[in-house]
Amino acid sequence: MAHARISAYLPPDINPSQAAIAYGCRALPKLNEELRSEDLLTRKKALVALCDLMHDPEHVYVAIDIGCLESLKALLKDSNNMVRIKATEVLQIMVTHYVGREGFLEHDIIHALSFLLNDPEIACRKNLHLAFKYLAQIPSGAQGIVHSGLIPLLVWKLQREEEEIQELLLDTLAACLLVDTTEALTSRVVPFLKEKLLSANDNIRSKAAYTLMAISIPLEGKKQVWQYGVIPILVHLLKDHVEEVQANAAGALMYATVTTAGEVACWPGTGGSTRPWTQTPSPRSCICWSPP
């Protein structure tokens, strides 16, 4: 005979750290209300629930329409570390969708996130740079980052962040430099990228070479690449054991060696000198051709 006993344990499909999601069209408005709650635990649970829902672009569209982005902007200033981490996680999930990227630009989320570039929590900064990376994948997103004036700060952070975040920074910079290289070049991005070409991390070497491709497209970028002695390093990377590094180094050389100075810097024995023609060439270096 069955007994009516109430278990002291929660059902197996209940997550105590996540807010209960309302049924149907009431789900997101209810969570938006909870995001603005004064109770810390309520805000945390609402953010955890949003992280699950924002993987669906339809939910992202509704969330933007009812004002969730404004609620999340406010939570970026929260004094609790976990709230800031989960708020940035929600935003980086939203920006993986095209509608989320458009929402970022319309609601000026770039400016709001920029205040967390020096956040003490590495997870928070990682989510932030993931969001910037995804946003920069569309031209309007890259333009938004450039026009926000963040490029000098991103270049500066390239020297001070963890390697995992450096990779994200390089991805973002590579996309943004296709829009405009002026601020990056005045912020000494080329010497910083030169150091990254010598990194023991394969991904960082590859991404640094790829970023130099974008730097080398304008004439001023080409000049700085050979002035700072980057071309000999790129030539050396053509023998790297990672194929992607070889390919990106070759791409950077393709743009950098369009000018005479860049081409001469690739010549063996010049040491990167821009005026080797002042030296008397040896007979062995000349190739003579005579008609048959």
pLDDT tens-digit readout, 164-205: 999 999 999 999 999 999 999 999 999 999 999 999 999 999
Identify the CA nearest to 66 among candidates 110, 16, 9, 28: 28
CA distance 38 to 281: 78
Kindly report, residue by residue over 17-46, the tens digit of the pLDDT.
555 565 456 789 999 999 999 999 999 999
Are 134 and 169 in contact, with CB atoms under 8 Å apart? Answer: no
Say which residues have a Cβ less than 8 Å from residue 225's Cβ, sequence separation at least 6: 190, 212, 215, 216, 231, 252, 256, 262
Residue 246 has pLDDT above 70, yes or no: yes
**Amino acid at position 142, single letter:** A
Q: Which two tokens stand for residue 4?
A: 């009516």
- Higher per-residue confidence, 198 vs 268: 198
For residue 192, count other CB atoms closer than 10 A to its CB.
18
Residue 282 has pLDDT above 90, yes or no: no
pLDDT of residue 127: 96
pLDDT band at 135 (very low <50, low <70, confident <90, very high): very high
pLDDT of residue 292: 46
What does each C-alpha distance from 201 to 207, 241, 253 come to in angstroms?
A: 10, 12, 21
CA distance 62 to 19: 18
Residue 275 has pLDDT above 90, yes or no: no
